[in-house]
Chain A
Amino acid sequence: MFGWEFPPFSYGGLGTACRGIVEGLSHHDVHLTLVLPKANNIRTEKLHISGADDLLNGTSKKIINKLRLIHIDSKLNPYMTAEAYLEQLNPHHLNNLSSLIRTNSPHQTPYGKNLFEEISRYAQKAAIISKNHEHDIIHIHDWLTMPAGVMAKKTSGKPLISHIHATEFDRTGDNPHQEVYDIERKGMEASDHIIAVSEFTKQKIIQNYGISPDKITVVHNAVLKEKEYFKLQPQIENQDPVILFLGRMTLQKGPEYFLHMAKQVLEKEPKAKFVMAGDGDMMHRMIELSTELRIAKNVLFAGYLSGPEIDKAYANADLYIMPSVSEPFGITPLEAIKNGTPVMISRQSGVSEVIRNALRVDFWDIEEMANKTLAVIHYKKLREFLIQESQKDLDQLSWKNQAGLIRGVYHHVQKNSLQAIS
């Protein structure tokens, strides 16, 4: 499996999902070789060790016995854009003297000159790994690892499964970069089977990539149960309603709709507080927008949060809103529910297929979003009932079950490839 570093060393839902899948698969009869990209510098040296520790922490011995971990030295991370890669490779600290002394020109690093070169370099390494390590199936996650999967398949001749957590159309709001799209399309076409994280995503794959529906299986994400969640005591002194946005502030996540909604809510409920947690390329624009709308006083930018800070943010909120423009799955509402917070989710999301007890809106329908936010603030019984019922939805989702479905896909693909040989 070509996957991604687990939290807290990764950012966003993909690492969380990979961890869930790996742990889930440990309950089924699967021996896993997990290949992860990891930049080989001083900081990541440390990560390398702690990463392994993290894998060990809280996971059973069973998983370790069945798991082999291989790192490829690479600067890839799951949400990388071409620009972000260049910046990481040739960071702004080039401008300061000390780093100039230590760092040579990027062209002399072992990494690819640009993101696409790095992806294909990663794929070459993947080919070597697939040659040297016995396996029956290749399982990759999202476009950055697709060329690796395709190369590995060419080398070993084993069937390839692409697990799609997001497509270029989700990330860019339907303005895909041609190069990324081509990689995705080739990867999907070369795949023996595709796992989509939602029906929503399956439909996008069919429409935008021309893949046959028979080749796609939907396996929804789940949420890890063993983690103790944060149940905050209600704060008596702070009675003002708190509405939370948490996620990368990018076009895909719809942060500006959240602010426009806030403006409408504040007209009726001037004491409401709107917390925006996370960073991203739209963060500065959002700060600007909050002043333009004259609601800056009621909007708090919490910045990037991790670990217990995230749980605390959820637990502190009266309502969590995920106004995503296009969300293949969207794991954050599950985290919010885990922390006892009711959620409002965009209809343009995969998670709305598995969480019944949530408020639903179209991301562009700001008036309706404001209406429902005000309803949660005003109708106490509604909030209580949402909290109580959404827990039940959560209880039905487990990685063990979902990994069973993945195991089913493995079985199906293996059977087909054996038939093809004979």
Chain B
Amino acid sequence: MKSLCFYFQVHQPFRLDHYKVQQIGEHHEYFDDLKNKEIFRKVAEKCYLPTNALLLKLCKQYPEFRASFSLSGVFLDHCELWGMDVLDSFKALAKTDQIEFLSETAYHSLAGIYSKKEFADQITKHREMIKTHFGIEPTIFRNTELIYSNEIAEFIRQMGFKGILAEGADHILDWRSPNHLYQSLRCELQKEIKSIAKKHNINQQKKVGKRTRRLTQRELPLLLKNYKLSDDIAFRFSNKGWTEHPLSSEKFGAWIDAAEGETINLFMDYETFGEHQWEDTGIFQFLENLPKALKERNIGFRTPSEVIAELKPIAEIDMHLPVSWADMERDLSAWNGNNIQKAALETIYALEPKIDQLKKLSTLDSRLLSTLDTWRKLQISDQFYYMSTKHWTDGDVHKYFSPFDSPYDAYIYFMNALTDFEQQIDSSLKN
């Protein structure tokens, strides 16, 4: 049976305050929590709460309904600070067994590219958070902004995950359809990277003969986003200039029906519902009517785990260079495309040895934890996204999401905060 696989990304960054050079050494409040709270509450009212309520209703009404979420760790931090109601509504969804929660980095970071050790630490931390809040241990991984490469997939496989999600980019798929289950291409990892993955393996130890081992699968199944159908909902839904506007659930159901393949993977930001596409566009009615429209065509729903359990991978996909779901290029250029972004990334990850030194010096006291937390909040991918200077239409998307007037402002406030942060670490190390 053909089925639809929903994955919704839920994330809110900690946006930086306008922290000036003159403030370096004076105080260490880098984040604009007034703005962070304000945006979180706005999105909660427009999107998280109403959409969660709708999904809960759909779960009850249609036992075959399925969806999956990836909640970033910093989003969960936001919930704990300003939205226990939002957290509770996700908990209610978790109890239905129709909703799957995926694994990602706690800080929605680019650590997968810049430091595998930090990557593994953040994945572990995120799993702990999901377990604490929902009593669930995720087994399917999706990286920040769907950033994927053979190397990342291999690392994730060696960490013991059962599957991974990625973008169905044209330049990778070419003539192939994203609507099948694939598997990642295995590759050789450096020895020290291997041992990091092994150390962070997510599975229980098992006795195999005389030795204890943790389970790793031989192959890592790969789900690819159908970006055309996903974008019909996420980007084009309210576009009156679009020839298909308005998009009804029935019409969309017919497209799914007509599409080849076994699994139509619709991956998108959760904020699509009510925030990017406002309520008055009819987006909620669309979602509400979709299960019925699909049922009439005998199309079901699957979570990523169900897709992996029920389908067999048809081929390997080779993604040597990193692929993401951002912008037209589907690469990393939204975060490291220009020299100020590169400089900022280099500087933040160059702090890792100092952070390690600090870890060795102190036990896990609250001060160290807060230092670690700040370092990681500065790693949130959004910080670098705001520094993008791409000129074409993608630039507008960057601008829409940015709390800053310009990429230069984003860079300056980031570097100011980082300069102060490094000074603090240096003084801690001296003492």
Contacts and interface: CB of A to CB of B under 8 A. Distances in A.
A264 B21 CA distance: 11
Of B20, B21, B22, B412, most buried by chain A (CB within 10 Å of CB) is B21
Contacts of B419: 378
A378 B21 contact: yes
A381 B21 CA distance: 16
Contacts of A375: 21, 412, 415-416
Contacts of A374: 21-22
A94 B366 CA distance: 80
Interface in A369-385: 370-372, 374-375, 378-379, 381-382, 384-385
Interface residues of B, number: 19
A246 to B, nearest CB: 21
Contact of B22 (A357, A371, A384, A389): A371
Nearest to B340: A385
Interface in B43-82: none
A342 to B, nearest CB: 10
A356 B405 CA distance: 11
B338 A385 contact: yes
A382 B20 contact: no
B291 to A, nearest CB: 46
A381 B340 contact: yes
Interface residues of A, number: 23
A385 to B, nearest CB: 5
Interface in B232-278: none
B22 A382 contact: no
Contacts of B134: none
A359 interface: yes
Given A381-B339, A381-B340, A381-B343, A371 B408 contact: no
B20 A368 contact: yes
B411 interface: yes
B98 interface: no
A14 interface: no
Contact of A384 (B18, B21, B339): B339
A385 B406 CA distance: 14
Interface in B389-431: 389, 391, 405-406, 408-409, 411-412, 415-416, 419
Interface string A368-411: 10111011001101101110110000000000000000000000
A340 B148 CA distance: 39
A192 to B, nearest CB: 35
Contacts of A382: 340, 343, 408, 411-412, 415
Contacts of B409: 359-360
A386 B407 CA distance: 11
Contacts of A359: 406, 408-409
A240 interface: no
A360 B408 CA distance: 9
B416 A371 contact: yes
Nearest to A344: B408
A45 interface: no
A268 interface: yes
A368 B406 CA distance: 14
A174 interface: no
Interface in B20-49: 20-22
A353 interface: no
A117 interface: no
A136 interface: no
B398 to A, nearest CB: 12
A360 B405 contact: yes
A386 B408 contact: yes
Contacts of A386: 408
A371 B21 contact: yes
B339 A385 contact: yes
A367 interface: yes
Contacts of B343: 379, 381-382
Contacts of B408: 357, 359, 382, 386
A386 to B, nearest CB: 7
A378 B406 CA distance: 19
Nearest to B343: A381
Contacts of A360: 405-406, 409
B333 to A, nearest CB: 15
B24 to A, nearest CB: 8
Contacts of A371: 20-22, 412, 416
Interface of B: 18, 20-22, 338-340, 343, 389, 391, 405-406, 408-409, 411-412, 415-416, 419
17 contacts: A264-B22, A268-B22, A360-B405, A370-B20, A370-B21, A370-B22, A371-B22, A371-B416, A375-B412, A378-B21, A379-B411, A381-B340, A382-B411, A382-B412, A384-B339, A386-B408, A388-B339
Given A372-B412, A385-B338, 7 more contacts: A267-B22, A356-B391, A357-B408, A367-B20, A379-B343, A381-B343, A382-B408
Interface of A: 264, 267-268, 356-357, 359-360, 367-368, 370-372, 374-375, 378-379, 381-382, 384-386, 388-389
